[in-house]
Amino acid sequence: MSTPAALSPESRGEALSALRATGTSGPELDVLIVGGGVVGAGAALDAVTRGLDVGVVEARDWASGTSSRSSKLIHGGLRYLEMLDFGLVREALQERGLLLQRIAPHLVRPVPFLYPLTKRFVERPYVAAGVALYDALSVATGQGRGVPFHKHLSRHGTLRAAPSLKKESLVGSIRYYDAQVDDARLVVNLVRTAADYGAHAANRLKVINFLREGERVVGARVQDQDDGSEFDIRARQIVNATGVWTDETQAMVTDRGQLKVRASKGIHLVVPRDRFQSTVGLILRTEKSVLFVIPWGRHWIIGTTDTEWSLDKAHPAATAKDIDYLLDHVNQVLTTPLTREDVEGVYAGLRPLLAGESDTTAKLSREHVVAHPVPGLVVVAGGKYTTYRVMARDAVDEAVRALDERVPPSCTESVPLLGAPGFKAKWNKRSRLASRAGVHVARVEHLLNRYGSLAEEVLALIAADPQLAEPLPGADDYLRAEVVYAVTHEGARHVDDVLTRRTRISIEAWDRGVSAAPVVAGLMAPLLGWPDEQRDRETKYYLARVDAERLSQEQPDDAAADTARMAVEDIVPLA
């Protein structure tokens, strides 16, 4: 079996050369995807597996926007049933089944939740009907459930599953299942899979304008954020998948017929798993929406908020008010309240919601829309993480309608991502893999759950250099080999890429990656040809970023938090 394509520094150089050639001597691309979040990455895979010549570019890092800052859930959206949005729920449950069973079983796995009941007699039948319909819709998709059916629990059964819940806060519960994912890893995996099928993928490549011939868009002018150089990429069709930046990218082309996207800020807290006892996650009602308490390895993720955001979109900031809101609500059901001192990490993300008549972002649509505002440019916006594949398919469908050839339909429902084939067999062999590699079986399980069957590529790095088996300072869950692999196989270009997205050290470690940063920079420097000055600058930038985020989280409102966070400039360009 051939070795899968790697998003290495060399492959990025080759992609840049191929993309640059389209603006000079070479043939144009069939489709250029702008945006390296989950929808853009999904569109690149969809287009390239139809046999098209495809490029995908991202201004910063893969998944650096919304797609690395979600609730980490792959779910149908139980609350959308209450809104009678059965079509959206069914579609999302179908995608959940595909991801669990076929597309990414190494990255997406079932997770149990309790829905606590607070009222006797009336509430249980009402909630049970909704959860039963949720299960029925998942079966009706025909994709295989991938998760167990729901179960009713008494108060005693609920407290046995979650001993830290206040006895008086509930009369019982319903346990049901959804699924979770490391969102940023799924995106990188999508991009790498697209590259394996022949897509030209380059991060740190920002679109600064679109090329026009009359009314038609025929390409894009891009700037390499790492060296400042600019060049043209020509394509027969362009798909704009820039999420919360949709309005800005559309404005480069036209002010007519635009999709309007509003950004809604959601923040999440990360706390240690031992801060309260529970074998399951929780879904709690709030006055505005729902609150999830999600198992996350040795941690809990608590979220989310839903407030309008109109400030810097690259670095949304959490405020003290946001953090207190989440703590106040979760503490209503816990016997021992959580405090600010229990919070290991905080992250804020922006949902790209289609603007409507509603006054609140909590009520805006999670449906997606595909538009063709001018010839040569397709725009996709809205939607939710779980349905990224459907959004990508619909966007590429719209793009290929304008191509003068017969293009096959989407086949991504049957295309497993790299790491998925052979994953279960490798999992069954994990003890042997650990023995052969000379590492603890728990380390191999960790690698399999992050890389799937490609975990053996990480183990090969350790075999070549046993020092790479050492954990990173302040982040014992992660090995030094994973830093090397992030650069050589997953397109990481900066320390921030590794600590924030290739790993989750920035939110899982008590020091948020401060002690790991210089070690990570030292491992990355020879692989990326950094001089000592750049290695030191990378570390200083990361430490300053952590300080700025901590300061922003002490501010009373969005404006003050944004000012604190924006005190630190981005690391790029290098020179």
Torsions phi, psi of 354, nearest 5? Answer: -65, 125
Q: Which residue has the higher pLDDT, 82 or 540?
A: 540
Residue 56 has pLDDT above 90, yes or no: yes
Query: CB burial class (10 A; 0-12, 13-18, 19+) of residue 133?
Result: middle
pLDDT for the residue numbered 571: 75
Element containing residue 562 per DSSP (H, E): helix 558-565
Residue 362 predicted with pLDDT over 50: no
Give the model's pLDDT for residue 415.
98
Which residues on adjacent β-strands are paired with residue 261?
354
Whole-number Å distance between alpha carbons of 202 and 92: 29
As a whole number, mean pLDDT of residues 210-232 equals: 96
Question: What is the pLDDT at residue 16?
Answer: 98
Output the pLDDT for position 357: 39
Q: What is the pLDDT of residues 455-476, one digit of tens each?
A: 999 999 999 999 999 999 999 9
> 3-state DSSP call for residue 495?
helix
Check if the beta carbon of residue 155 is closer than 8 Å to that of residue 167.
yes
In this structure, are residues 545 and 496 in contact, taking their beta carbons and an 8 Å threshold? yes
Q: Quick check: helix, strand or coil at residue 175?
A: strand
Judge whether 42 and 33 are in contact, CB under 8 Å: no
Distance CA 62, CA 33 (A): 13
Q: Is the peptide bond before 471 cis (omega within 30 degrees of 0)?
A: no
Q: Residue 573's pLDDT is what? A: 59
Q: Is the pLDDT of residue 61 over 60?
A: yes
> What's the mean pLDDT when you consider all of the chain?
93
- What one-letter code names the amino acid at 503? T
Q: Minimum mean pLDDT among 305-314, 361-370, 496-505: which range?
A: 361-370
> How many angstroms separate the Cα of 295 from the Cα of each of 31, 273, 408?
39, 8, 41
Kindly state the average pLDDT of the residues 523-545. Answer: 96
Strands (E), 52-141: 54-57, 73-74, 108-117
| Confidence check: pLDDT of 238 > 90 | yes
For 483, 487, 515, 528, the CA distances from 525, given in Å and listed in that order, are 11, 10, 17, 5
Express each pLDDT in 119-178 by its tens digit: 988 899 999 999 999 888 888 876 656 788 999 999 999 999 999 999 999 999 999 999
Residue 2, pLDDT score: 63
Nearest CA to 535 among 554, 521, 550? 521
Split at pLDDT 50, 70, 90, the class of 27 is: very high
Share of the chain above pLDDT 90, in %: 84
Amino acid at 403: L
Instruction: Of 71-85, 105-119, 470-484, 535-549, give the lowest mean pLDDT range.
Output: 71-85
Question: Which of 116-125, 269-278, 344-353, 519-528 shows the lowest per-residue confidence on average (mean pLDDT)?
Answer: 116-125
Higher pLDDT, 256 or 471: 471
What b/e readout covers 261-271, taking b as 16+ CB neighbours within 10 angstroms? bbbbbbbbbbb
- pTM comes to 0.96
Question: pLDDT by residue (tens digit) across 552-574?
Answer: 999 999 999 999 999 998 876 55
Q: What is the predicted pLDDT for the residue at 461? A: 97
What is the spatial distance between Cα 142 and Cα 310, in angstroms, rounded to a whole number?
41
Model pLDDT, residue 358: 44
pLDDT at 260: 85
Q: How confident is the model at residue 80 (pLDDT cuts 50, 70, 90)?
A: confident
Q: Which position has the token pair 């989407």?
A: 410
What local confidence, expressed as pLDDT, does residue 359 receive? Answer: 44
Dihedral through CA 81, CA 85, CA 90, CA 92, nearest 10? -90
Average pLDDT over residues 318-343: 97
Percent above pLDDT 70 for the chain: 95
Enter the tokens of residue 548. 């700025």
CA distances from 297 to 3, 279, 294, 399 (A): 30, 12, 10, 40
Give the helix/strand (H/E) hosting 66.
none
Tell me the three state secondary structure of residue 187.
helix
pLDDT at 209 over 80: yes
The pLDDT assigned to 116 comes to 95
Given a cut of 80, is residue 53 above it in pLDDT? Answer: yes
pLDDT of residue 345: 97
Question: Contact, 380 vs 240, CB < 8 A?
Answer: yes
305: preceding bond cis by omega (within 30 degrees): no
**Residue range 481-504: average pLDDT?**
98
Sign of dihedral through CA atoms 486, 487, 492, 494? positive
DSSP string, 280-306: SEEEEE-SSSEEEEEEETTEEEEE---
What pLDDT sits at residue 572?
60
What CA–CA distance (Å, rounded) separates 477 from 492? 19
Q: 464 Cβ partners below 8 Å, 6+ apart? A: none
For 539, what's the count of Cα atoms within 13 Å in the CB-facing half-sphere?
Answer: 18
Does the structure show a pLDDT above 50 at 183? yes
Q: Which of 289, 199, 301, 275 is nearest to 508 (CA)?
A: 301
Tokens of 143: 């994709």
pLDDT digits (tens, 9 = 90+) for 409-467: 999 999 999 999 999 999 999 999 999 999 999 999 999 999 999 999 999 999 999 99
Instruction: Say yes or no to pLDDT of 200 above 90.
Output: yes
